[in-house]
Amino acid sequence: MPSVCVIQHVPFESPGVLSEVFRDKDCMVHSVEAPFIREVSGNIRRSEILVVLGGPIGAYEESRYPFLLDELEWIEAHIAGGGIFLGICLGSQLLARVLGGRVYPGGRKEIGWSPLDLTAKGKTSALSHLGNLPVLHWHGDTFDLPPATTLLASTAVYPHQAYSFGKRVLGLQFHLEVTSRDLERWYVGHAAELTGEQNLNISEFRNLGRIHAGNLLPVSRAILREWLEEAMNDDS
């Protein structure tokens, strides 16, 4: 039975669709709250699959959030040991730091639903299932593409949206995991941020979320299942 550790930075940003994918694979899943990762036992740290989710802090803010240093160390050790890794939003930015990329505040926030521009490599990856479907973007930071990684997707606002490091490591700046039900928690959890976005109408944003999250759900399942199967079968 494959073991999975999911690191959450805030309770309302949950694994979402990933929970279903892991259940179908008969995985044993452990959830860890990022601020308390020093308390995690060794057997959980040795999980075969590590997932790091998003959160409203910067990957470079270890002076404010010292646990980030422990998190970076855990990610680095996991990848060095050949483990499977998926980083989403903040998780993808922490991965970029581990792999030698610089993470920093972007020139503007990218919050909303829009499609990705897949690279040639992206079109042959599991992300090809997306086609022109809009995905959820919710970030203000960005990163330089780390050395030895492969860019899979971009947007006009930020060019580094998805990248891989071999077949076992994947970083996604956007959110494939979120469901329309999850989003109701996000609207509350990120209320202060949304209030500060003068060009964003929460009612319209909610309606778009219901439509696009519903359309994306079966595609997200397919993408995550395909990527996980390929990663688990990788012998390199």
Neighbours of 66 (CB within 10 A): 12
- Strands across the sheet containing 150-154: 28-33, 3-8, 49-52, 84-88, 169-172, 162-165, 150-154, 117-118
User: Do residues 156 and 187 touch, judged by C-beta distance below 8 A?
Assistant: no
Strands 3-8 and 28-33: parallel
- Residues taking part in catalysis: 89, 175, 177
Contacts 24+ apart (CB under 8 A), 164-167: 164/121, 164/125, 165/79, 165/95, 165/99, 166/234, 166/236, 167/230, 167/231, 167/234, 167/236
**Bridging pattern class, strands 162-165 and 117-118:** unpaired
As a whole number of angstroms, the distance between CA 96 and CA 82 comes to: 17
Q: What are phi and psi of 130, to 5 degrees?
A: -65, -35
CB 138 within 8 A of CB 48: no
For residues 218 and 130, is the Cβ–Cβ distance under 8 A? no
Measured from the Cβ of residue 228, the count of other Cβ atoms closer than 10 Å reads 23
CA–CA separation, 85 and 79 (whole Å): 7
